[in-house]
Amino acid sequence: MSLLNSAKVIAKYCTKPEQYILVNKTRFNLGDTNVSLVFNKDIDIVNGKLVNDKLAEIGTTALQLEKDFVQKFPDAKKEVKDIFEKLDTVESFSFRPKSAGSMETKLEREFIAGKPFNSFSDAKELVRDGIGSRIFLKSLPELSSKEIKKMLNEFRLNGEELSKQDKKILYKYVYDYPMSLEEKKNGFPIFEKFVEPLIQKQSQQVVDEISLSIVKNSMIKKGLSIEDVRAKGMLSDVLIERLQKEDIKPLEFDLVNNYRGEFGLPVFTNAQLQQIEKASGAKLKIISRPDLLDYDKYPKEYIEKMQKSIRQSGYRTAQGNVIHKNGVRGKFQFRDLFTNDFAEYEHIAYDLRMGKNTLGELFNDYKREISKLSDNEYSKYTQYLSECYNYYNRKSIGLPTHKPKLPKGFNKILSEENMKNLHDLNEKRIKELNKNFVPSFVQVA
């Protein structure tokens, strides 16, 4: 830590309307990024909370990191647009540098979990995703019954025609008709295969650009030639041809998450993930759910037992951790706009259930209803939210669908429509508050 401890002034810094963090004002004003924090449980935690002294150092570093990310933001944004903007399957983008408040929370959590930081760059490593980019995929047009009929007639599973029973279940799946749990479980792998061409239609261009950018990066960093790329089977012949002819922008990917819920379709199919894996080689890690594979990678009984411990909201996004050209770490998220809108407010139920109470008074009635739910009721409620995810996803790939109804016995405050209404009102309120807001120090602690 710097030699300024004797003159240290801890102050509150308002990062957003109604949100502040503690900051070592002296260090911040001097632009001193030197920091070395070691966690000592006996001294640093009082009444279950981190002491202000340490919190202020974490807050100062978070604020400095925010400044750094804001500075690097325009270049990173341009880099993403240069890669994906030309694609006609991409609808729009949203970008944001990570906020100081969010970084303070993350650094504090890591610090208490035994990951202290000895420098500004250590802290940056712990934060990981300094810049978030969302790439929104265009929705597909609604399929006509004629198109569906053709798809059903032509569909073969591993080269074979379906049995009468499987055809019946697939039909129910395609038209979103009610099914027993057993039918749902048995039919899902068939349904997933059936819709793969639709998912690919929506995301293949994006997957191709990711693969090309990854390979281009390897060619630059490892000195690989086109012949090496061909020999290693990193890309298909079509993509190799593009690699030779076009100006491909390099990008470093090191982790891909392909989140989806039970009976939910992924953003990237297994074949698309394989394409990205082959382009990357061993350095890319894929985080996924083995319980949704078509084979048992681990003991089945153990995985079934573990399923209870996962958040069953149906959260759906494909996500990649990247390192931008200017060195800043970023996170890419790929999803359609329907799913994105729902994801903006779906998490509030989970956050409240987990004790995160960052929502304003507007949500008081909703909060009260959530807290009243028994574990069984809550599980039923999350199943409803998961069905909402599937509804929006089906809409985005053009499949027939029916909007799920809030299960009987639940207060209508908990409906998806009301969640959206509350979220919209809150956004409007925040927008108003932001109108004349300037981040600044507010008071000496």
**Residues in the site for another protein, rule: CB under 8 A?**
36, 38-39, 109, 116-118, 122, 128, 158-159, 233, 236, 255, 257, 269-271, 274-275, 277-278, 280-291, 293-299, 302-303, 306-307, 309-310
Residue 430 CA: distances (Å) to CA of 16, 121, 426: 9, 32, 6
Structure tokens at 376: 């069984």
Provide, rounded to whole angstroms, the least separation between the CB of residue 325 and another protein: 22
Provide, rounded to whole angstroms, the least separation between the CB of residue 298 and another protein: 5
Provide, rounded to whole angstroms, the least separation between the CB of residue 306 and another protein: 4
H or E stretch covering 179: none
Q: CA-to-CA distance for 65 and 120, rounded, in angstroms?
A: 8
Q: Nearest Cα to 312, choosing from 412, 400, 388?
A: 388
Judged by CB, which is closer to another protein: 48, or 299? 299
Judged by CB, which is closer to another protein: 175, or 298? 298
Judged by CB, which is closer to another protein: 294, or 361? 294
Judged by CB, which is closer to another protein: 309, or 357? 309
Residue 306 identity: M
DSSP 295: S
H or E stretch covering 423: helix 416-434
Say if residues 75 and 324 touch (Cβ distance below 8 Å).
Answer: yes
Q: Residue 349: what are its φ and ψ, rounded to 5°?
A: -65, -45
Provide, rounded to whole angstroms, the least separation between the CB of residue 284 and another protein: 6
* The Cα angle at residue 131 between residues 345 and 26, in degrees rounded to 5: 105
Torsion of CA 434, 440, 444, 445, to 10 degrees: 60
Provide, rounded to whole angstroms, the least separation between the CB of residue 54 and another protein: 14
Q: Nearest Cα to 362, choosing from 421, 414, 279, 318?
A: 421
Judged by CB, which is closer to another protein: 200, or 418? 200
Provide, rounded to whole angstroms, the least separation between the CB of residue 368 and another protein: 29
Q: CA-to-CA distance for 25 and 40, rounded, in angstroms?
A: 23
Judged by CB, which is closer to another protein: 292, or 337? 292
Judged by CB, which is closer to another protein: 282, or 438? 282
Provide, rounded to whole angstroms, the least separation between the CB of residue 310 and another protein: 6
